[in-house]
Structure 1
Amino acid sequence: MFSPRRLAATAAILGVLAVAVLALLVLADLLTLGAAATSGAFAITLAGLALLVLTVRRIDGKAQRIDLRVKKHEAELAKTATALKRIESRLDRLTEAVEQSAKRREDDLGAILASLGEDRVNAMTRAREVEELREEIRALAKDPA
């Protein structure tokens, strides 16, 4: 398919030749001026129609290429959406696992703190018992009997 510049150059050359031929026919009295003008107008109309057809074909070709690009991008978008759904499901599973792990850690920490609290209570009780024993020993040490 010709480029628009090449087509315009070819049409200009053919147009000049057509005008020259019509002028020669009018000068040789083989064609009347009205018939030559009508033929010229008809040629111009046909050239305009040809230009319109070529323009429409070019636009149609561009529209088809754009349509192919859009379909390609839609396919890529669908793949991306599918990948995002898989990632979201993985994230949901990971979130659930993290929440369960946090709950287990919380339970473990509670058990550890409870155990520490029991040890502390037991240590305080033992400290009181030791202090009572010391007081008894001091009392016995003061008592010379």
Structure 2
Amino acid sequence: MLLVLAGLLTFGAAAAGAGFAVTLAALALLLLTVRRVDGKAHRIDLRMKKHEAELARATAAIKNLDSRLELLVQAVEESAARRADDIGAILASLGEDRVHAMTRAREVEELREEVRALAKGLA
């Protein structure tokens, strides 16, 4: 403004210079805003990569646990099958013993009847 009053600069040139300064200030503000948004986007991107890495580790750990769990399930099923076979054999053995005991009880009862009949015959 002083240059216009002093006559060193025309009013049009001063207006053009002021417009250029305002445009330059607006561009600087726009640049700062874009850099700020870019910084936030970069931090968000880093956070996303961190979470993706954690998710990949968790997925790998879950797969490892799943494979171990499958091995344990298989071992438990095999153990249960062996136990079922053992219990079946024990029950079969007990059943045979019971059948033999019942046969012996009948034989003993028949012998008692014969002894009673002989005792009555002698009496």
Q: What TM-score comes out, normalization by structure 1 length? A: 0.76
Partner of 2:57: 79
Q: What TM-score comes out, normalization by structure 2 length? A: 0.89
- Aligned match of 1:128 in 81, 106, 113? 106
- Aligned match of 2:97 in 119, 130, 133? 119
Instruction: Note the alpha carbon deviations across 1:12-59, whole angstroms, 9 max, x for none.
Output: xxxxxxxxxxx3333444333333322222111111111111111122
When the two structures are aligned, how many residues end up with a matched partner?
123
> Where does the alignment leave 5 or more consecutive residues of structure 1 unmatched?
1-22
Counterpart of 2:63, as a letter, is: K
**C-alpha distance in 1 between matches for 2:51 and 2:27:** 36
Partner of 2:74: 96
> Where does the alignment leave 5 or more consecutive residues of structure 2 unmatched?
none
Counterpart of 1:32, as a letter, is: T
1:41 pairs with 2:36: no
Instruction: Note the alpha carbon deviations across 1:107-136, whole angstroms, 9 max, x for none.
Output: 011111111110111111111111111111
**C-alpha distance in 2 between matches for 1:62 and 1:71:** 14
Alignment of 1:43-62 (within 5 A): 43-62=21-40
Task: Please provide the CA RMSD for this pair.
Answer: 1.6
**C-alpha distance in 2 between matches for 1:30 and 1:143:** 164
Instruction: Note the alpha carbon deviations across 1:62-109, whole angstroms, 9 max, x for none.
Output: 222222222222222221111111101100100000000110111011
Percent identical:
73
